[in-house]
Structure 1
Amino acid sequence: MRYFPLFLDLDNRKAVVVGGGEEALRKIRLLLKTKAKITVIAPTLHDELLAHVKEDRLAWVSRSFVPSLLDEAVLVYSANNDLHREVSQAARDRGIPVNAIDDAALSTFITPSIVDRDPVVVAIGTEGTSPVLGMGLRSKIEALLPQALGSLAIAASHLRQSVAERVPHGNRRRSFWQRYFFGSIRDSFMAGDAGSYTRELEAALIDVTSPSLGRVSLVGAGPGDPELLTLKAQRKLQEADVIVHDRLIGPGILDLARRDAIRIAVGKKPFEPSPRQSDINAILIREARAGRHVVRLKGGDPYVFGRGGEEQAALIAEGIPVDVVPGITAALGCASSIGLPLTQRGQNRAFTLLTGASEDGLAQHDWAALAKPGQAFAIYMGVNAAGDISAQLLDAGIDHKTPVTIVENGTLANERVMMCSIGSLWETLALNGVDGPAIIYVGLKPAMTSADILTFPVRDDTAAQILRAAS
């Protein structure tokens, strides 16, 4: 990020525009939305600017530019191509932010596309690379934000002191404002129903001032790529007071959370001291009892080798409300990322998820059943136990040529794919130095090599049947 976004207070401060044509007019239209003291410097002015001068909405210096005219200014626009370099240098010498229109090299700031619902203002910037993209995004956001949103924000400002006196600081106050801006209170306000607005407002204040217990959301973060996070999961991250997260949460996902949320890392790493499950349960219970909304953020899905069921049971036993937000489990997400179908006609009629590790070491399974022809399965947490797993399967009679696909850091930019047979699984892992989270698929073939496994029979009269059905 080259340009840091911020909002500049122009109330009763001098803003200068050098130039009197169309480009100057566009910038002055924006500045007129503020309370800045606008000065335009140009020998001649556009007719619309002359009208603003007559209405005392801006001051006109009808002469050629000299650097001293920028004295005491806090913002400068150069809207005259012939003067860009001179104006830019004069502003820089005085430490004044300057924008030379359409010349980023001579500018120290750029003006974003703006959605104005005063006092709610949304700014969209593309760092000057794609103005059309910025305008397109602005159009979409314009359509999303009601015109009365600014009036709602003003009404909220009048309530702020009263709410601060009645509602304790923290998640309860935040919960009230969430309900105010995004719930039934807003709906009543937008509908212009003053009676309903007052009733909903008082009901919300009573609710948030009553003693309350916190709650826990068990949230699946998916296989790694932030774009595979569900909308509900993202909303939970925005609402959370506390986020208790695993080590395998993909980079960028925590960036979607509320910035002031407390973050507690409880990730487990093989062969290193890690939090016990009982410790994690105790953290969830402690934070919820303090009245907080806790998000237990897990890689993949909470119910697929995520111990979500254990945590849910512990919370219910303590009378703590709990809800579950599913996520894309690693076996599904990683397979889709590399184009590996989990079920295909003529190849397999079932697909099994299993873990390679348990608290006691190697997880025990019905190896004889898994070794039968036509079986397909994915192994979670199987890298360190891969030698034992392949040995068990080979002893149970699996064909040593059974295909294996290993996906490390699936769905991420550093995703890595390795293919081998069950007979060479351990050597493949050792030679490739797999140390990131990985999932192992056994008995599956990529789509490109299995399209001809089962041909689709077409009878001679099929086309005629289709035509009759269409007519």
Structure 2
Amino acid sequence: MQYLPVCLRLKDAPVILVGGGTVGTRKARLLLRAGANLTVVAPEISSELESLLAEHGGTWQRSEYRETDLHGRMLVVAATPEQSVNEQIHADATALNLPVNVVDSPALCSFIFPSIVDRDPLLIAISSSGRSPVLARKLRRKLESEVPGAYGALAEFAGRYRDRVKEAIPEETPRRLFWEQIMEGTVAEQVLGGRESRAEQMLEEQLANTQAHYVGEVYLIGAGPGDPDLMTFKAARLLQTADVVLYDRLVSEPILEMSRRDAERIYVGKRRDDHAVPQEQINQLLVDLAKEGKRVVRLKGGDPFVFGRGGEEIELLAQHGVPFQVVPGITAGNGAACYAGIPLTHRDHAQSVRFATGHLRDGTINLDWGKFLSETETVVFYMGLVGLPVICEKLIEHGRPANTPIALIERATTKEQRVLAGTLDTIVDIVEREKPRAPTLIILGSVVTLHDSLSWFGDS
């Protein structure tokens, strides 16, 4: 994140705008709408800008820019056609520790103007960090059509009742859950429909019936293999409601950032031979947090029920009567195969697929190797990076040809994805040379030969 989005209160604040052309006029319109005490410095200004200043009580200083014009200001905007003047304004403002925006020059900006969807007092700001204003405006137009104007009235309504609800429900979590019910229910619909008197009556009725304790709930969410776009709508929605998020190293940072900013985040491991929190403690933590009345998300890479130990976690929740939901995710086997251009099944190569764990225990992998010999079946090994030499050795030992195609996919579906392809007798040396990092996934079978022709994503 290159910029921190903030909402700046400019009511009666002394702001200076240098430049009075078409671009400067657009900036002045925004600043004046925000209530700024605006001074425009320019030898000439547009007729529209002159009218705006007269309407809102701004000042036109008919002169060239001087460094002393910045003294006593809170905010600086430069919109002159002269690059040298804009650079000087940036230097002067920076020396005075004043926030400065030089229009169309991101390198000279300590802040930038976002595209705004205005449903006052509700504001939605979209920014491309100065890279593509056209894209930001496109997204604004999309949101303009999807966010009704009445949302501003709903925000005003909530503001009027904020202290009343806080007094009635002093505890933070129950109060937030109450507001979520209001905003997603019939009270909000009454406000959006222009029936605020009825909405006030309904809200008071709900306050009178508020229970002192809210029962918490646990959501086991499959986060998929890494690409946040592969999250389901339900997973994204529930993640946004969580008070607490338990996550491990298989969950990518962009996915974690989809949670609420005020949600507590608890890292619970896990990497080989180093579990930050043992599984039994994770299970109990889910129970304890839910009993505190919190909405808890257990965020898992891939799918919770495919080598994710989700069954163990909900078993304890069920024993303690804690409500829970399980949200499936795209398992790493499917995601990695698709992004690597390796179909798990193909009429000419494989008519079935088998998923197995490649995790070492006491230096070996306890699998029935005789079941892995079919050349018309694709085999997917999870957690097999360290155990790869054992996997290859056992497969060859039990009869798989040494030239059987095999691929190791590193950090699948992310921008760091890499595919290392070889055969049972060459892949160990390839991995030793390339030194991939976990998480990785291994695919065995003739479908791997399709990778070169069907791969479409990442560095292969």
Please classify the TM superposition score into its range, dividing by the shorter chain length: 0.7 to 0.9
Alpha carbons 2:365, 2:390 under 8 Å: kept? no
Match of 1:7 in 2: 7
Alpha carbons 1:75, 1:96 under 8 Å: kept? yes
Shift of 1:57: 2.9
Match of 2:32 in 1: 32
Shift of 1:229: 2.2
Shift of 1:418: 2.0
Indicate which of 368, 371, 374 corresponds to 1:372: 374
Tell me, yes or no, if structure 1 residue 444 matches structure 2 residue 446. yes
Tell me, yes or no, if structure 1 residue 161 matches structure 2 residue 155. no
Match of 1:123 in 2: 125
Match of 1:75 in 2: 75
Q: CA deviation digits over 1:412-467, x for unaligned, max 9? A: 2332322232344555544544441222112132464799xxxxxxxxxxxxxxxx
Q: CA deviation digits over 1:31-79, x for unaligned, max 9? A: 2212222233445543334444554632334455554444422223344
Match of 1:295 in 2: 297
Alpha carbons 2:14, 2:75 under 8 Å: kept? yes
Using the alignment, how far apart are the partners of 1:448 and 1:432 within structure 2?
21
Shift of 1:293: 0.7
Using the alignment, how far apart are the partners of 2:95 and 2:429 within structure 1?
66
Q: Is 418-427 or 126-135 further displaced after alignment?
A: 418-427
Q: Which secondary structure does the structure 2 equivalent of 1:353 belong to?
A: strand
Q: CA deviation digits over 1:103-123, x for unaligned, max 9? A: 455554332222211122222
Using the alignment, how far apart are the partners of 2:242 and 2:407 within structure 1?
37
Distance 1:126 1:398, change over 3 A: closer
Which amino acid is 2:111 matched to? Answer: F
Q: Which secondary structure does the structure 2 equivalent of 1:441 belong to?
A: strand
Match of 1:407 in 2: 409
Distance 1:278 1:94, change over 3 A: closer
Alpha carbons 1:341, 1:444 under 8 Å: kept? no
Distance 1:163 1:429, change over 3 A: same
Q: Which secondary structure does the structure 1 equivalent of 2:304 belong to?
A: coil
Alpha carbons 1:20, 1:79 under 8 Å: kept? yes
- Runs of at least 5 residues in structure 1 that lack an aligned partner in the other structure: 452-471
Instruction: Give the TM-score of the pair, scaled to structure 1.
Output: 0.85
Matched residues, number:
451
Instruction: Give the TM-score of the pair, scaled to structure 2.
Output: 0.87
Q: Is 49-58 or 8-17 further displaced after alignment?
A: 49-58
Distance 1:20 1:169, change over 3 A: same
Indicate which of 339, 354, 357 corresponds to 2:356: 354
- Runs of at least 5 residues in structure 2 that lack an aligned partner in the other structure: 454-460
Match of 2:225 in 1: 223
Match of 1:465 in 2: none
Tell me, yes or no, if structure 1 residue 312 matches structure 2 residue 292. no
Shift of 1:340: 0.2
Distance 1:279 1:62, change over 3 A: closer
Distance 1:367 1:290, change over 3 A: same
Which amino acid is 1:341 matched to? Answer: P
Distance 1:39 1:341, change over 3 A: same
Which amino acid is 1:393 matched to? Answer: L
Alpha carbons 1:341, 1:447 under 8 Å: kept? no
Shift of 1:248: 1.8
Q: Is 316-325 or 350-359 further displaced after alignment?
A: 350-359
Alpha carbons 2:18, 2:80 under 8 Å: kept? yes
Using the alignment, how far apart are the partners of 1:102 and 1:278 within structure 2?
55
Using the alignment, how far apart are the partners of 1:106 and 1:311 within structure 2?
52
Distance 1:432 1:178, change over 3 A: same
Using the alignment, how far apart are the partners of 2:104 and 2:221 within structure 1?
46
Q: Which secondary structure does the structure 2 equivalent of 1:237 belong to?
A: helix
Q: Which secondary structure does the structure 1 equivalent of 2:30 belong to?
A: helix
